[in-house]
Each structure stands twice: as structure tokens, then as C-alpha cells.
Amino acid sequence: MMTLDKKDSINVAMKMIEYFKDFHRIDDYFRSRKIERVKDIPLPLPGMGSIEDEMFQDYNMHPAEMDFQICQIPLVSFDTMLEKTASFSPDENPGKTLKLVVKETNTNTIVGFIRFGSPLINSKPRNDYLGGVPDLDIFNKRAIMGFNIVPVQPFGFNYLGGKLLAAICCSHASREMLNKKYDTEFCLFETTSLYGNIKGASMYDGMKPFLRYKGDTESKFLLTLGEEIYKELKGWFTDRNKGEELIHKGASSRKLKMQTKMVSIVKSSLKEHDTKAYDMFVKAMDDATGVTTQKRFYMSEYGYSNAKDVLLGKTDKLELAENFERFELENVIKWWKKYSTKRYDKMIKEKRLRTELEVWNKDTMNKIDIIR
């Protein structure tokens, strides 16, 4: 392993400590990343429409009058609109990916964004459900994860839009789009709450039979470095490594592995040169790791009765459960309308209906709640 001299190891350690020092809760970190990412989104060209015009803004519309379709839009548009809508700045993940938007068809406007991806490699709630660690070759052909399930705001607040999107993730319509893209039959959908145990409830609670809570994740991990400091340190380490990057370009989860390698080099170098500085750095990284929280973990079996047996490789033939038809898109929407109507009517009665589109930009950065 590369070893830095005392001056360089302390210099890099202090840069990392300085970056992480103000993050006392996960929402502090989310806001910092959001500020960094949103400032790079280009303004629309003169005479061109704003992307905000494509987002749902008809707040006088009752949920009973709404209908929806799932569709795809150009990836650049999806990524930009998601960045401007989501509290958390999403990073791309290796493996499968499918990006969808949900449109309200009467207004032809977007109410939310969904990004599917390959499941996490390991998960305690999943392992408890399956009775152990599955054969990943079998499991990954049949399981998918919802990495981003983000309603346009205040559609999410006024209408329980997060529940609509999550239920659509569990619908046969979404599953069939995934089946077609990857030429397989998915039978398990997973997702986690964004804020973990710093928020008392998740938008995924109360969604049986579509989603069921399976426990809390146990993983703790060091927060990811921001774009600017990561780029600076990556280049610095490459120079010190005779022009060769610490992690080869074909590696999966490359940014995470690169950061882990940097931290490891700094730790080992400090331990050799300055034990007091080493102890300070280790504590700072432990503190930054402690900001992350356990997340609530949810699953859907898409209305199959033997999904677990298929995931474990005991059979490759899926069997329909009695409630299989409840997962049809029209039935999912009908389920949502019942709860959304109660929510919308309550917001009207209590005069709490929000009527201003919430998107992230330099003017709204300190006006929008990260946890919402």
C-alpha cells in the first residue's frame, strides 16, 4: 500500500476532517450535497420552456379526477428534473437501471420519478426473510430495488404522492417493463426509507399488501465525499501514485472504493508518523460514519405466492397468490385514490394545502425542508 510522508498525510487528513466536521445529522449532509449539485444545473436557453412547466402544478384538481401512466423520457431530462426535485442527490449505481416517470394524463404533467437498480449486495432484513444469504446469481435475476422514488412537491405532500409512486413500483405494469428490458421474470421488489431512524415514520408504512416492512438495515458507512473535494483528492493521489489511479477504471462502486482506499492510506500513514494525528483522524471518520442511520427496509412479492422459493432456487416456476390482480396498475391507482382523497380533503379543510412548486435552486436552497 502507498505510504504518505508526515506532511502529506496530515494535510489530506485535515482536508477530510474539515469536510465532514459540520455534518451532525444526515440532513446536514444532504443539504450540503444538494447545494453543490444544483449550482451546476444550467439555466434554460432564452425562449425555451422551463423544466418546471413539465411538473404537476394543478393543485385544485381532486385525486378522484386523476389518472396516470408510466413512461420514459430522455435520460438527461430525467436526471435534471430528479436532481431539482429530490432532497437527496442521487449517484449512479453499477448494474441494472431503469428510469421511469409517472404522468397525470389529464394535465400531461409529471408527478414523480422512479429509478430501479440492482439490489444491494447484502442486507440483514433480506437475509432474515430468506433464511440466509442467497445465491446472488439466482437472486439478482429475480430481484430489483427502488433507489429513487421521488414525488414532485407539493404533489407528494398534498396527495400522498410518495405512496402512489411506491405502489406503482410494485405494480405489474412496472414489473413487466423490467421483465422486457432484462428478459427475466422479477418476483421481488426492495426499497429502503431515505431518512432511517431520524424520522419517526416512512411514506412506505401502511402500504400492505403492496409493501411490507421487513426490519431495519444494520449497515453503517462513511458519508461520500462531495464532488469537488473528491475530484481534488482523486487527482492528488493519482499524481502521488505515478499517474495511476488507486482503483482501476472497470471496478464497480468505484467512487466508494476510491474513497475507502484514500482513507486507508491516510490512516496507515498517520499511524506510522503521528499517533496523536492518527487518533484524531480515526475519531473524525467514526463521527462521520455515525451520521448515517439505520434504514427501514421494505419488500414486495408482486402478488406471487412462492417468490421466496424462486429466489432460493428451489423452483423456477412462479405461482400466483389470491391477491395477484390487486397489483394491476388500475387497482393500485384505485387503492391510492381512497387514501389520497382523505388526505387532500383534510388539507383543504385545515387550510394546509400547498400550492407552490418546490424545486431546488440557488434561491430556494434555504427555504425547502430537506426532510419533508
Do residue 199 and residue 104 come from a single domain? yes
The answer to whether residue 366 sits within a structural domain is: no
For 82-125, write each residue's pLDDT tens digit. 988 987 766 677 789 999 999 999 999 999 999 999 998 778 89
Instruction: Give the pLDDT confidence of 208-264 residue by residue, as tens digits.
Output: 999 999 988 876 678 888 888 999 999 999 999 999 999 987 776 788 889 999 999
- Give yes or no: residues 337 and 195 share one domain: yes
DSSP letter string, 233-267: HHHHHHHHTTT--SS-TT-TTHHHHHHHHHHHHHH
Residues 330 and 266 in one domain: no
Of 290, 305, 327, at which residue does a domain stop? 290
φ/ψ of residue 304, rounded to 5:
-100, 145
Q: Hey, is 109 helix, strand or coil? A: strand
- Are 285 and 299 contained in the same domain? no
pTM of the model: 0.81
Q: Which residues contact 23 (CB under 8 A, 6 or more apart)?
A: 29, 32, 223, 288, 291
| Same domain as 11, residue 139 | no
Position 170 in a domain: yes
Least confident range of 20-29, 235-244, 348-357? 20-29
CATH number of the domain to which 318 belongs: 3.40.630.30
**Mean pLDDT (whole number) for 57-76:** 97
Number of domains in the chain: 2
- Does residue 178 share a domain with residue 213? yes
**Rounded Cα–Cα distance for residues 331 and 333 (Å):** 5
| Predicted confidence (pLDDT) at residue 10 exceeds the cutoff of 50 | yes
Per-residue pLDDT tens over the stretch 175-215: 999 999 999 999 999 999 866 555 556 788 899 999 999 98
> Does 20 fall in a domain?
yes
What is the per-residue pLDDT across 271-318, written as a single tens digit (0 to 9) for each?
999 999 999 999 999 988 877 667 889 999 999 999 999 999 999 999
Question: Nearest-CA neighbor of 268 among 12, 11, 2, 7?
Answer: 2
Confidence of residue 23 (pLDDT cuts 50, 70, 90): confident
Are 135 and 268 found together in one domain?
Answer: no
Whether residue 281 is found in the same domain as residue 316: no
Answer yes or no: do 124 and 253 share one domain.
no
Per the CB < 8 A criterion, the answer to whether 141 and 96 are in contact is no
Is 359 inside any structural domain?
no
For residues 338-362, average pLDDT: 93
Q: Which domain holds residue 238?
A: 6-27+226-290
Burial of 26 (0-12, 13-18, 19+ CB in 10 A): buried
Query: Where in 157-311 does DSSP place strands (E)?
Result: 188-192, 212-216, 296-300
Query: Which of these three, 269, 290, 311, is where a domain ends?
Result: 290
* Of the candidates 148, 147, 88, the residue with the CA atom closest to the CA atom of residue 118: 147
